[in-house]
Amino acid sequence: MKRISILLGLGLLFSCSPLKEKVGQSAIVFTNVNIVDVRNGTILEKQQVVTDSGRIKSIQQSIANLEDYGTLIAGDGKFLIPGLAEMHAHIPQPPTSEERIEETLFLYLSNGITTIRGMLGHPSHLVLRDKSKKGKILSPRIFTSSPSLNGNSVPTKEEAIEKITAYKKEGYDFLKIHPGIQLGVFDQVVQTANDVGIPFAGHVPVAVGIRHALKSKYAAIDHVDGFLEGLVPESRKVDPTKNGFFGFDFTPLADPSNMDELVQLAKENEVWIVPTQSLFERWFAPIGSDELLQQPEMKYMPASTLADWKKRKDEYTGKDTNFDPQQWEQFTAIRRALIKKLQDHGHGMLLGSDAPQLFNVPGFSIHHEIEGMHTAGLSPLEILQSGTLNPAIFFGMEGTFGEVKEGQAADMVLLHSNPLENIAAFKEISGVMVQGKWLSQEMITKKLEEIAKNAIGN
């Protein structure tokens, strides 16, 4: 009996001993990689990052028996950052083909963008969002606005109530505000949005004005819209409808000393800002359309789209227009000063370029935006935060994505060099992981070649 008891005891001892956790062949490990901490800008060197089932499972200094893991990605000398968010994106809609829609989503991914905030919603985007969540399509995480709320779509308070109630029920993530809404209708939009519990964001209608817009607590104001107009002293008695392209015509009247008041209002009312500065340094800028057409990323856009972009840009800034390059210099200097002040003293910045828009190719335009924000005075870390941590906070999903941390979504970008030392590193991509799927540099290159081929003649 004593012998049997001893054997039983040994059996229990061994059965309760911790066994080596079985490693699935679906696991992907980044080995000896440098992790960029987006909160404080420190670098965690030579880490082993284990991902599986779409999540970051562990981050360790060393792992025994690496050969047991399904896929190893050499991270020696490379830098791992969270996937970027394009916070002013556009997703094509029918009658655009499914193939072209999926190509557009891939263009975002190819540049390290694993989250997009769609800014002109359509019922088909709700379907895409669901497919993306379930991993049925290769796509960034999608947040989508409602269809446009503007002076034509909501001319009355009654229509505003009806549409907003419907958009909330249909499941859109937020409302998209466009120009043309009258003040009384806008206030009804705000009241109804608050009543049903759906955020609103986008443009600032002229009849509303930046001060009222900020006090109405937009979730985010895009394009820094309305701010330049808000710098014009009331004593000037301007006609607000004569403001031109995002206030360009009021540039000589703007008083920079009014910036602090507007920035403080943004902070007090917790309004995020999406600059889309690349629009004002490419579309509405002295650079010529023919020069922009020569840029390498243009080959991924259909020829018909490029022809339309050229036509529209020439109508705004071509030789036969009244576009004034000297006034543009003053205009863009004011915008840069606003962006810097909003970063330093406002509520927060979100990375967004407005793509596809004139000469802003999806994915590629985010790098032009990064350059624009850097020129405005933001540090590489601040820019990185605007495209990672800040969007997660904005969507109430801090802890779900936006950082390279255990338990977070396996949405990451592997870079060849440190982006905190040189913003050019954001373009030097070794590969992208989205929902735990690894897109190697070779795979990305091959797919981009297919997209360029398909664009010819379209």
What is the Cα–Cα distance from 374 to 423, expressed in whole angstroms? Answer: 8
For residues 285 and 278, the answer to whether their CB atoms sit within 8 Å is no
Task: Give the pLDDT confidence score for residue 7 in this predicted structure.
Answer: 36
Tokens 């964001």, residue located: 201
Which residue stretches of 204-324 are H helix?
210-215, 227-230, 259-268, 277-282, 289-293, 303-317
Which superfamily is assigned to 84-399 in CATH?
A: Metal-dependent hydrolases (3.20.20.140)
Beta bridge partners of 357: 360
- CA distances (Å), origin 91, targets 98, 110, 445: 11, 16, 22
pTM of the model: 0.93
**pLDDT in single tens digits along all 458 residues of the chain:** 333 333 334 343 333 333 334 556 789 999 999 999 999 999 999 999 999 999 999 999 999 888 888 899 999 999 999 999 999 999 999 999 999 999 999 999 999 999 999 999 999 999 999 999 999 999 999 999 999 999 999 999 999 999 999 999 999 999 999 999 999 999 999 999 999 999 999 999 999 999 999 999 999 999 999 999 999 999 999 999 999 999 999 999 999 999 999 999 999 999 999 999 999 999 999 999 999 999 999 999 999 999 999 999 999 999 889 899 999 999 999 999 999 999 999 999 999 999 999 999 999 999 999 999 999 999 999 999 999 999 999 999 999 999 999 999 999 999 999 999 999 999 999 999 999 999 999 999 999 999 999 998 67
CB of 121 closer than 8 Å to CB of 176: yes
The DSSP result for 355-399, as a single string, is BSBTTB-TTTHHHHHHHHHHHTT--HHHHHHHTTHHHHHHTT-BT
User: Contact 290/367 with Cβ under 8 angstroms?
Assistant: no
- Tokens 């991924």 sit on residue: 300
Q: CA-to-CA distance for 102 and 86, rounded, in angstroms?
A: 16
Please give the Cα distance from 414 to 427 (Å, whole number): 10
Domain ranges of the chain: 84-399
Task: Check residue 245 and report its DSSP letter.
Answer: G
At residue 23, the pLDDT reads 53
Read off the DSSP letter of residue 135: T
